Amino acid sequence: MAADASPDQRLPLKGAQTARTTGELRQPWMSCREVVQLVGLALLFCFLLLLGGLLLAATVPTEPEYSIAITGAEGLDPARDLRSFDRRPRLSPVFNLTVHIELLDDSYYRACIGGHQAKIAVSYGGALLAEAEGPLLPELCVGPRQGRGANITARGVDVAVPRFVRDRLAAELERSDAAFDVVVMAPRYDRQVLACKAMIGAGLRACDFQYYY
């Protein structure tokens, strides 16, 4: 039977085992200072991004605002004009309109609408009711931070309107919620088209601005 190892022979083994089990303490992968620097860079990036967005918004020009109001109408009485289809199969309505243009800031030196080549049309339910063009549409021009309006009369003469459209229009007029489509075409100024929804006596309504080709 082999003799037990002496104490001197066991000490190195014990010391090696202790070294393997204890070892050195691991350091954190990022120090507090590095974390603070990273957060600062992230905040700086967000600030620069916000600043760039504000500068871009400030340089984008603000489009002119166009609006239209129907201040009055004739020839659309529900009982006398719209429902008396047998006695009066055609309509001759008259619309009193106000066209308004406004520049809210200094984005544009000048903005215009109307003129001798312009045309305005009033319709309901896809049926054309009245028109005005040429000299009847005065040219409206404004400068920065200015607004201006003009009164226009659009007329229809012996306009054929389907009976179901007349009945619906008569019912909505009696409820005071009839909305008409008003379109202004101004080919002189970049072939502009203003599409608006307006109600009789409801004040100015904003128009959608677009181009046509």
pLDDT score recorded for residue 55: 57
Please report, to the nearest 10 degrees, the dihedral formed by the alpha carbons of residues 199, 203, 206, 210 taken in order. Answer: 60
CA torsion through residues 162, 98, 155, 85, sign: positive
132, 151 Cβ separation under 8 angstroms: no
pLDDT tens readout for residues 102-156: 887 766 677 777 777 788 999 999 999 999 887 767 788 888 878 888 899 999 9
* Euclidean distance between CA atoms 106 and 189, whole angstroms: 19
Burial classification of residue 93, based on how many CB atoms lie within 10 Å of its CB (0-12 exposed, 13-18 middle, 19 or more buried): buried
* Phi, psi dihedral angles at 142 (to 5 degrees): -135, 155
Q: What is the mean pLDDT of the chain?
A: 78
Query: Domain-by-domain residue ranges, the chain?
Result: 31-60, 65-210
| Alpha-carbon distances, residue 49 vs 39, 52, 55, 149 (angstroms) | 15, 5, 10, 41
pLDDT tens readout for residues 51-104: 666 655 554 557 788 899 999 999 999 988 888 766 667 899 999 999 998 887
In sequence order, the 6+-apart residues with CB closer than 8 A to the CB of 103 are: 62, 64, 65, 111, 142, 143, 144, 145, 146, 147
DSSP state of 190: T
Instruction: Please indicate whether residue 213 or residue 144 has the higher confidence score (pLDDT).
Output: 144
152, 132 Cβ separation under 8 angstroms: yes
pLDDT score recorded for residue 22: 47
For the domain bounded by 65-210, which CATH number is listed?
2.60.40
